[in-house]
């Protein structure tokens, strides 16, 4: 149980670093205009749920990265 928690915290730390980058606003705007993920750069076209699609609207994070970082 501790190992999973440590892995999760590492992902949270990584996500915080990505989202707190000083160029975040510029990267966010670019990702949204190209319908790409701000984290991995892949196209963000398919989402499992309406909530996941809404999350993309707010964060520019694709379904794969949402699953990896936000689960």
Give the CB-side neighbour count of residue 39, counting CA atoms within 13 A.
22
Q: Which residues contact 41 (CB under 8 A, 6 or more apart)?
A: 31
Structural domains of the chain, count: 1
Domain range holding 45?
2-70
Give the sign of the dihedral formed by CA 44, CA 49, CA 50, CA 56. negative
Task: Give per-residue pLDDT as tens, 1-48.
Answer: 455 555 566 888 888 888 888 898 999 999 999 999 999 999 999 999
pTM for the complete prediction?
0.81
Identify any residues that bridge with 43 across adjacent strands, giving them in sequence order. 36
On whether the CB atoms of residues 61 and 38 are closer than 8 A, the answer is: yes
């Amino acid at each position: 149980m501790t190992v999973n928690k440590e892995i999760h915290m590492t992902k949270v730390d990584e996500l915080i670093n990505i989202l707190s980058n000083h160029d975040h606003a510029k990267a966010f705007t670019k990702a949204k205009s190209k319908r790409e993920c701000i984290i991995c750069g892949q196209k963000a076209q398919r989402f499992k749920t309406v909530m996941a699609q809404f999350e993309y609207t707010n964060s520019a994070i694709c379904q794969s990265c949402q699953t990896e970082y936000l689960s």
